[in-house]
Amino acid sequence: MLTECSAERLDFGTVEGRPVEAAFDAGLVTSDAGALLLGATDRAINLVRRFASCFHDERRAEYVEHAVATLVGQRVFAIALGYEDLNDHDELRHDPMMAVLAGKLEARREDCAPVAGKSTLNRLELSRLQPTRYHKISHNPVAIRNLLVDLFLEAHARAPKQIILDLDATDDPVHGEQEGRFFHGYYDCYCYLPLYVFCGRHLLVAKLRRADKDAAAGAVEEVARVVARMCARWPRTRIVLRADSGFARDDLMTWCEDNDVDFVLGLARNERLVANIAIELERMVAKSRRTGRPERRFKSFMWMTRTTWSRRRRVVAKAEATQGDPNPRFIVTSFTRRQCKAKPLYEKVYCARGDMENRIKECQLDLFADRTSAATMRANQLRLWFYSMAYILLCAMRRIALHDTAFADATCGTIRLKLLKIGALVRVSVRRIRIAMASACPVARDWSRAAIRLAAAATARASPA
């Protein structure tokens, strides 16, 4: 129980006759010692330097205290550590761990900290496509988009036989007068409608869009760009596109058919579709009422819309009844009956797309990808890319260093809480910088193993081929 407070000391009663005192006087102490793993992961995949190369700096070199790579790395590392606001950096700029990650223990000027504060980072986030008088740093959106795909390709030692690209749109609520905001009736709020493309846990596309667009707006262009980059590296890899009914658009399916890309897409039900499985659905309803259990049967047939599709396509229907009520579902696919039968195509291939929802939750809940509070869409898109890079960094750590530990399937939030948020005393001497973490840390074994693996991955990357 708190008994006395002063500017120098906080008293918390006694334990076995000894007073318990607390004070903020330990010197160089950090609560983010685990961030050393982030720096090791960055050395293993070379993310920060390549991300920084997507920016162009026209500041006068003699006046520059913080290089672009320092600014970019500081922002990515801070997001991974849970600091979503630029305001946090007014304190973080004095944190010894951020200085260690930046490779810069002291500033050149007396009025500066080793790393940047909120104002400098704000100018970075507000950078434009071309430098201006007040924004000397500009960024290249094309290079950033390509980097997301390149990092995915480099994560594979060899070309996979098949990959599945998951597409989805989600809401990104806004609470101000941001450029491009629009009221979306389905989500019942003013929001953006970003487009995400994942391959498993790998993030390939994070595109910010206005909410007055169709869910599939711009999907063809993004898929074409990603697939072209993949085919250039992996010409024999089979590519499958998977998404819900919001993406069952003729232009996307036609592009896939013309470019040898398979697809499995949800299809919104209508009276004509239901009529094709009326007999099967009636039988399943009757059976479900007899057994009291869900009953289902699958049927495959060729079908096309009256006006919007340019050709007939294979539709797989699930005639399902739950608690005696009909619950039909449909998908449209480029796979033939010989390539994949109806039941495994629906249950094994299509239904697995639900895992992508968890990836979006990681991005938005753990890594703040829905914090798009800047005034312009350009700045908010750049913010989204910063959040995406933090997600990729943590995924790379999980893939390289944690694959056979208790954290192999952990979320980004769990990895942060267990492995990054570790308190430590930082001792800086002439010869070394020593990070002294708690001896009783419950994840010390996994943490040490991860550090060794990341160091080996960084060494392998630096070694000549």
- Please check whether residue 420 is in contact with residue 459, taking contact to mean a CB–CB distance below 8 angstroms: no
Question: Which 3 state secondary structure label does DSSP give 417?
Answer: helix
CB atoms within 10 A of CB 326: 16
Q: How far apart are the first and last CA of the chain?
A: 62
Q: Which two tokens stand for residue 379?
A: 């700045």
Question: Which 3 state secondary structure label does DSSP give 76?
Answer: helix
Q: Which parts of 281-409 are beta strand (E)?
A: 295-303, 313-322, 325-326, 329-333
- Please check whether residue 415 is in contact with residue 397, taking contact to mean a CB–CB distance below 8 angstroms: yes
DSSP label at residue 441: -
Tell me the β-bridge partners of 318: 298, 329
Q: Which residue is it, tokens 């109806």?
A: 342
User: Which residue type is seen at 304?
Assistant: M
Question: Which 3 state secondary structure label does DSSP give 363?
Answer: helix
| Buried/exposed code over 72-87 (b: 16+ C-beta within 10 A; e: otherwise) | bbbbbbbbbbbbbebe
Question: pLDDT per position in the chain (465 positions), as tens?
Answer: 444 445 477 889 999 999 898 888 888 889 999 999 999 999 999 999 999 999 999 998 888 999 999 999 999 999 999 999 999 999 999 999 999 999 988 888 887 899 999 999 999 999 888 888 888 999 999 999 999 999 999 999 999 999 999 999 999 999 999 999 999 999 999 999 999 999 999 999 999 999 999 999 999 999 999 999 999 999 999 999 999 999 999 999 999 999 999 999 999 999 999 999 999 999 999 999 999 999 999 999 999 999 999 999 999 999 999 988 999 999 999 999 999 999 999 999 999 999 999 999 999 999 999 999 999 999 999 999 999 999 999 999 999 999 999 999 999 999 999 999 999 999 988 899 999 998 889 999 999 999 999 999 999 887 665
Q: Which two tokens stand for residue 150?
A: 């390149």
For residue 245, give every residue at least 6 positions away whose Cβ sits within 8 Å of its Cβ, in sequence order, or none. Answer: 265, 266, 267, 268
Residue 70 dihedral angles phi and psi, to the nearest 5°: -65, -45
Give residue 1's pLDDT: 40
The DSSP line for 262-281 is EEEEEE---HHHHHHTHHHH
User: Which residue type is seen at 170?
Assistant: T
For residue 299, give every residue at least 6 positions away whose Cβ sits within 8 Å of its Cβ, in sequence order, or none. Answer: 276, 277, 280, 316, 317, 319, 342
Cα–Cα dist 266/258, whole Å: 20
Tell me the β-bridge partners of 18: 15
Q: Which two tokens stand for residue 127?
A: 């950078």
Cα–Cα dist 421/30, whole Å: 9
Residue 119 dihedral angles phi and psi, to the nearest 5°: -65, -45
Cα–Cα dist 54/143, whole Å: 6
Residue 21 dihedral angles phi and psi, to the nearest 5°: -125, 150
Cα–Cα dist 350/358, whole Å: 16
pLDDT tens digits along 25-74: 888 889 999 999 999 999 999 999 999 999 999 998 888 999 999 999 99
Helix (H) or strand (E) holding 183, with range, is strand 182-184
pLDDT tens digits along 233-247: 999 999 999 999 999
- Please check whether residue 342 is in contact with residue 361, taking contact to mean a CB–CB distance below 8 angstroms: no
The DSSP line for 106-132 is S-SSTT--SS--HHHHHHHHT-BSS--
Cα–Cα dist 321/293, whole Å: 9
For residue 311, give every residue at least 6 positions away whose Cβ sits within 8 Å of its Cβ, in sequence order, or none. Answer: 254, 257, 304
Cα–Cα dist 390/216, whole Å: 26
C-alpha 268, offset from chain centre? 28
